[in-house]
Amino acid sequence: MKPDIFRKTLADKGIELSDRQMEQFDLYYKLLVEWNEKINLTAITDLEEVYLKHFYDSITLAFSENLSAGQKSLCDVGSGAGFPSIPLKIVFPNLQITIVDSLNKRIKFLDLLVETLGLDGVNLYHDRAETFGQNPKFREQFDFVTARAVARLSVLSELCLPLTKVNGAFLALKAAKSEEELLESKKAMTILGGKFEKETEVSLPITNDQRFIIKIVKTKSTPKKYPRKPGLPNKKPLI
């Protein structure tokens, strides 16, 4: 997806990008490729693929949720190279972004990226999601919590729902539809105070690859014992 097609396709969806926003995406791409030679940020470095499979893919979250109203807070767990939160921040400057990642090298890249793009209202933390979710400063503080990780939904729920406000939403971005995974995660959602609301299917342009945004609404506070110690959610999922 060439940058001009990226811009036009989003405009067709009602998202108009300014010249400044297009410049920010261009800078993002260049910095991503430059830093990817030093640390492993992504296997995708081709310009057209980055615009489609990273930038556009991240913005699909806005096809499911209204991110333009008010000063909503969004926490991105295990953001890696800043997906989906930094593309969303470029498009919706009103969003207050918090990124937590366990690898300090990635946080250093994101720190430079945020400065280079001139983004305000982005906070970066080098931490494990399990310990971050037990920190009273961040626990149940975010309107939206998102993860674009490959972990199963039962694991992601334990990492993300403790950070989600009551009446807020955990939004999981998945590359494949899985009724089995949804059923498997019902126990975890219930224990952690969440309730499955909907699954939004999105097709990427050009390739027609399918993406699925799973919305879990936080209906009550998460018990204090969750998330458990680092590593435990993955080793012993709540299933």
Write down the mean pLDDT value for the chain: 94
Q: Sign (positive/negative) of CA torsion 208, 171, 148, 177?
A: negative
The annotation places the binding site for S-adenosyl-L-methionine at 78, 83, 129-130, 148
Average pLDDT of the segment spanning 146-169: 93
Please state the rounded mean pLDDT for residues 15-37.
97
Residue ranges at the known binding site: 78, 83, 129-130, 148
Measured CA to CA in angstroms, residue 188 lies from 31, 120, 147, 213, 236 at distances of 38, 35, 16, 18, 11
What per-residue confidence (pLDDT) applies to 120? Answer: 96
Does pLDDT of 1 surpass 90?
yes
pLDDT of residue 79: 86
Residue 149 pLDDT exceeds 80: no
Q: Domains, the chain, ranges and CATH? A: 3-235 (3.40.50.150)
- Report pLDDT digits (tens) over 45-90: 999 999 999 999 999 999 989 898 788 999 999 888 999 999 999 9
